[in-house]
């Protein structure tokens, strides 16, 4: 192989492996989100309910991801775990795969990590975000994969959450006679992240 061609090939590989990282996700204080801290997930616009929490839907367990109806209630803080961390980078970045769990303990004695229900929930007719173990994993095994995407229409540092079980789909809040629930939706639930005090 010509030495110039070899050099160009090596340069192309180096550049592809060292591309710019996606931008960080920012909290309400303008600081980068870190996998080492906990955050409340709050509506970006006032008057649209409170933060995200856990609640039973039909049975006592598992607990579903729900929204507080009272906007003064922040819900439970969450933690984000990036799926791929480059060189120990703990920054949560836009449009990258993350796992999410509530930094809380429940009476269900199970994990508080989020996943998307495998089939449409019979009571709601849609995929919902649930905590606890996955009872019937899909072949792709991406029920626990989420992303934070920018949503700049409301104000600075506003975001939407998406589920990437298959192709990525927006998560929104829908309501029924039992409460307000996070699930797959055509209308995104636009949020901000407020850092929670350390425990």
- State the pLDDT at residue 21: 87
Q: pLDDT by residue (tens digit) across 46-79? A: 888 999 999 998 889 999 999 999 999 999 999 9
pLDDT tier at 6 (50, 70, 90 boundaries)? very low
Average pLDDT over the chain, rounded to an integer: 86
pLDDT tier at 158 (50, 70, 90 boundaries)? very high
Residues 6+ apart with CB under 8 A from 191: 41, 42, 43, 44, 158, 159, 160, 161
- State the pLDDT at residue 11: 36
Q: pLDDT by residue (tens digit) across 76-114? A: 999 999 988 777 789 999 999 999 999 999 989 899 999
Q: pLDDT by residue (tens digit) across 108-139? A: 989 999 999 865 555 556 789 999 988 878 87
Residue whose token pair is 């849609």: 126
């Amino acid at each position: 192989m010509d030495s110039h061609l070899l050099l160009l090939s090596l340069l192309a590989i180096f550049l592809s492996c060292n591309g710019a990282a996606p931008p960080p996700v920012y909290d309400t204080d303008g600081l980068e989100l870190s996998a080492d801290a906990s955050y409340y997930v709050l509506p970006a616009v006032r008057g649209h309910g409170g933060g995200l929490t856990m609640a039973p839907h039909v049975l006592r367990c598992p607990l579903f991801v729900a929204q507080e109806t009272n906007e003064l209630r922040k819900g439970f803080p969450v933690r984000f775990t990036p799926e791929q961390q480059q060189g120990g980078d703990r920054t949560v970045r836009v449009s990258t795969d993350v796992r999410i769990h509530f930094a809380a303990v429940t009476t269900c004695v199970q994990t508080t990590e989020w996943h998307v229900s495998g089939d449409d929930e019979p009571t709601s007719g849609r995929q919902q975000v649930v905590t606890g173990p996955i009872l019937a994993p899909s072949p792709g095994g991406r029920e626990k994969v989420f992303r934070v995407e920018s949503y700049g229409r409301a104000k600075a540092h506003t975001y939407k959450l998406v589920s990437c079980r298959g192709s990525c789909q927006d998560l929104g809040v829908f309501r029924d006679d039992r409460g307000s629930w996070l699930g797959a939706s055509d209308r995104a639930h636009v949020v901000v992240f407020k850092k929670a005090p350390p425990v």
